[in-house]
Copies of this chain bind each other. A is one copy, B any other.
Amino acid sequence: MERKHIEQLLENVAAGKLKVKDAVSKLETLPFEDIGFASIDNHRNIRSGYPEVIFCQGKTCEQVAEIMLKLSKDNNNVMGTRADKQQYEAVKEVLPDAVYFKEARIILFSRNPRIKEKGYIAVVSAGTADIPVAEEAALTAEILGNTVERVYDVGVAGIHRLFAKLDLIRSANVVIVVAGMEGALASVVGGMVDRPVVAVPTSIGYGSNLGGLSALLSMLNSCANGVGVVNIDNGFGAGYLAAIINRQK
């Protein structure tokens, strides 16, 4: 029940068309969603021009295609994450304008790309194997309207490569660090920049990396300040968090 409905109700009370008792009942029983919709909706996507997002992994090709088609009617921008080639093929049949970013595993349907934010987000990754997650983060940030600088393959085992890119990293508004194995890159970068760092542990490694827990724990226990951590392999989440940090108020 939006404002104008409440006004109407009160007008009717004031005009004697509606008894106080009945008005109380209406107010008491009005569906939560109606009040709620106005005051607590989380439609930040709509308000901010952010796309609707579908987590494709584990869904059938048909489901992905159907959901993207449906969402594309009410949204200018729709993205599917963790999508494979088959899912994209299915989407393409119903949304021929959808494009697929293979490395980032993202399907994008975009009628009206978001205007770019000022400055840029740096996406820094440790090893070659971390690139899919890094790309998911980078592309997500781009789709959400940010310029992105990619600084890949600068793990701490060859730290001079990282330092060669230090100025680029330090000039970013937000830095996303993507690393598997021991995840030390997050601490090293965190110690050298004075901007927020979003750390993404990856499941890259083997044995006692415990599917990414090793990197995750490293990042949570970072001796550097200013580091916020997202779930293992969650490139999308990192790109999203970086984007809302970078969004102009």
Contact = CB atoms under 8 A, between A and B. Distances in A.
A99 interface: no
Q: Which of A35, A223, A224, A226 has the most CB of B within 10 A?
A: A223
Interface residues of A, number: 107
A225 to B, nearest CB: 5
A159 B43 CA distance: 11
Nearest to A7: B24
A160 B41 contact: yes
Nearest to A236: B225
A182 B219 contact: yes
Interface of A, secondary structure class, is: helix
Given A10-B23, A194-B244, A217 B210 contact: yes
| Across the A-B interface, the 10 shortest Cβ-Cβ residue pairs | A228-B228, A207-B232, A44-B194, A33-B164, A184-B184, A32-B164, A36-B160, A214-B217, A182-B218, A32-B163
Interface of A: 3, 6-7, 10-11, 13-14, 16, 20-21, 23-24, 27-28, 31-33, 35-42, 44, 47-48, 53, 55, 57-59, 63, 119, 126-129, 155-161, 163-167, 173, 181-184, 186-188, 190-196, 198, 201, 203-234, 236-237, 240-241, 244-245, 249
23 contacts: A10-B27, A35-B39, A42-B191, A59-B128, A126-B223, A155-B191, A157-B222, A157-B224, A181-B222, A182-B182, A182-B218, A194-B244, A196-B244, A206-B231, A208-B213, A208-B231, A220-B230, A226-B240, A226-B241, A227-B230, A228-B229, A229-B230, A245-B245
